[in-house]
Amino acid sequence: MLTEKAGRIVAAHKLLRRSRRTETGEFLADGAQAVREAIAAEADRPGTVLEVYVTETAGNRNRDLLRAAFAAGLTVTQVTDRAAAALSDAVHPQGLVARCRIHETPLADVLAAGPRMLAVLVETGDPGNAGTIVRLADATGCDAVVFAGDAVDPFNPKAVRATTGSLFHLPVVRVPDTAQLMAELSSAGLAVMATSGAGDLDLDQVEEQGLLELPTAWLFGSEAHGLPEAVMTAADAVVSVPIYGRAESLNLATAAAVCLYAAARAARRRPTP
């Protein structure tokens, strides 16, 4: 049973830091839900999971999950409660963590496949919001989720937790240069919709004009500052979620939910050609 002082635990603990994740190309998926989805992803893409760490208590509580890990040929290592706590930044660590390989998909590959819908986070800073939007992108059938500019690291432990496993379900793309991203989205024939509390069009108008029918990249900004001015200028439209009552605005994750679902539901209503 490894303690928090064992070399492998000390090394894995460092993956809570972004710099270490960048160096190694590895990250930690924390909690039963994330570990279950990581193991399931291993079947499609061997090498996703490098090692599973589990406490005795968590092992007894998640026998089916450990069976799946063994069946997939994964290394399962029993660790002490303190070692498990060292691998988590959660307030209440669950005692179950997978060390995983970071898989990023090049933007060119995503665009070459003719995507119908992309979720793009530009400068989004809060890991909980970012993870929630990855979960929404998965729920609405987005073809990929793009993290652009100085957005939070999608493999940040809080972000991974907020995705509740969806991080393993769809391609994750990182594009540091937002201007280049804008150009490539347009070249690929995607309608680029910038979202803002003060848009030129609201979502009802976008729908009435038939724009929800188009293959679209939906851009979401930072909690505090929204999208950069240059992004709004380069976008095909700046879209607001309509406010029918007296609320001043919506928060980022609920606005993203409304936009992505409106688009996904419009796509479903459209008769297939």
- Separation of alpha carbons 147 and 122, rounded Å: 6
Amino acid in the structure at residue 81: D
CB of 220: closest distance to its own copies in angstroms?
A: 13
Q: How far apart are CA 271 and CA 60, in angstroms?
A: 49
Q: Using CA atoms, how far apart are residues 40 and 18, in angstroms rounded to an integer?
A: 25
Nearest CA-CA partner of 120 in 72, 172, 55: 172
Each residue of 73-84: b (16+ CB within 10 Å) or e? ebebbbbbeebb
CA distance 218 to 165: 22
What lies within 8 Å, CB to CB, of 3 at 6+ separation is 9, 79, 80, 82, 83
Tell me which stretch binds its own copies (CB under 8 A): 2-10, 101-109, 193-201, 255-263: 255-263
Q: Does 38 bind its own copies (CB under 8 A)?
A: no
With CB under 8 A as the contact rule, the residue among 80, 132, 178, 222 that binds its own copies is 132
* Contacting residue, 18, 225, 265, 270, with its own copies by CB under 8 A: 265
Residue whose CB is less far from its own copies, 198 or 247:
247
Ranges within 142-171 binding its own copies (CB under 8 A): 142, 164-166, 169-170
Q: Is 3 or 254 the residue whose CB approaches its own copies more closely?
A: 254
Among 21, 135, 161, 174, binds its own copies (CB under 8 A): 135
Near its own copies by CB under 8 A: residue from 204, 230, 233, 270: 204
Residue 24 is a binding residue for its own copies (CB under 8 A): no
By the rule CB under 8 A, 206 interacts with its own copies: no
Cβ closest to its own copies, residue 92 vs residue 246: 246
Among 73, 187, 244, 271, binds its own copies (CB under 8 A): 244
Using only C-alpha atoms, the chain has a radius of gyration, in whole angstroms, of 20
| 3-class DSSP assignment, residue 226 | strand
- Contacts with its own copies by CB under 8 A: the residue count is 41
Q: Hey, what are 3's tokens?
A: 């303690």
209 binds its own copies (CB under 8 A): no
Question: Which single residue is written with the structure tokens 């490894």?
Answer: 2
Structure tokens that stand for 226 in this block: 């929204």
Q: How far is the CB of 234 from its own copies (least distance, A)?
A: 27
Q: What is the contact surface with its own copies in residues (CB under 8 A)?
A: 33, 132, 135-142, 164-166, 169-170, 203-204, 207, 241-251, 253-258, 261-262, 264-265, 268-269
